[in-house]
Structure 1
């Protein structure tokens, strides 16, 4: 298996074409390479502000929309293992452990932020995608030092594919 991107579009504000998905896949490969992650599946879903608002409220207890949410599989793997051990086929266990997690991006929020920061929508969504991927790997930005590390990693990956400010 290799590092793969599976995507879904649940919004209609932005037309998601194959060229854009290829760019995001390239970002995933570069970010994975930088972090030593060569295998696994990342699920990416594009949603509306309303949809991400609902998810943010349900899973984080924050009653407002946000730009990106990440749900790392390794955080919930222990909960899933009781179910998986009941399965008879080892392949299904392998499939579960190969999934790194889900990244959900609000296209509406990304559009607003791209305009606010004065860069392209591709750059903003790329930034949010890499940000979400790093969260799947356990990175966080709860303090100045960890935010600096995470931001540096994000910018380095974006620069490799030409998505600079």
Structure 2
């Protein structure tokens, strides 16, 4: 197995160019390589501010849209329900075990941020995707030190893919 990207476009304001998906697949490989992750699947959904607002409220209790949300499948916190999956034969594999998680990006917010920061929408989406991936594998930015570490990792991966500022 290798790192795989499964994606869907659930918004109407932008048709996602195929070359962007190729760039996101490259970013996934680069980020995985940088973190020593060679196997797994990431599900990416492009949505709008209305939908991400609802998800942000439902799952985080924050009543506003956001740019990116990440939902890790391998995470086990006190509020997480365990997933029980039975395999009937030795030939079958557990389809859940390779799933790293879901990343949801609001195209509306990504557009606004790309304009605010003065770079391309492709770069902003790449940044949000790498940011989301790092959250899936356990990184966070709750304090200055962890934010600086995460930012440095994101920028290094984006630079390798030719998406630096």
What TM-score range do you get, normalising by the shorter chain?
A: over 0.9
Superposition RMSD in Å: 1.7
Name 1:95's counterpart in structure 2: 95
Structure-2 change in CA distance of 1:16 and 1:92 (3 Å): farther
Q: TM-score, normalised by structure 2?
A: 0.93
Q: TM-score, normalised by structure 1?
A: 0.93
Considering fraction of residues, name the structure with more helix: 1
Structure-2 change in CA distance of 1:91 and 1:64 (3 Å): farther
Shift of 1:80: 3.7
Contact preservation (8 Å) 1:84, 1:93:
no
Residue deviations 1:53-102 (CA, integer Å, cap 9, x gap): 00000000000000000000012597243x314x5356766210000000
Name 2:143's counterpart in structure 1: 143
CA distance in 2 between partners of 1:20 and 1:145 (Å): 31
Please state if 1:49 is matched with 2:82: no
Shift of 1:144: 0.1
Secondary structure in structure 2 of the residue aligned to 1:146 = helix
Shift of 1:155: 0.1
Residue deviations 1:101-133 (CA, integer Å, cap 9, x gap): 000000000000000000000000000000000
CA distance in 2 between partners of 1:90 and 1:123 (Å): 43
Name 2:123's counterpart in structure 1: 123
Structure-2 change in CA distance of 1:106 and 1:3 (3 Å): same
CA distance in 1 between partners of 2:162 and 2:33 (Å): 17
Name 1:2's counterpart in structure 2: 2
Structure-2 change in CA distance of 1:23 and 1:35 (3 Å): same
CA distance in 1 between partners of 2:18 and 2:2 (Å): 19
CA distance in 1 between partners of 2:30 and 2:155 (Å): 12
Unmatched segments (≥5 aa) in structure 1: none
Contact preservation (8 Å) 2:85, 2:94:
no
- The one of 68, 81, 99 aligned to 1:79: 81
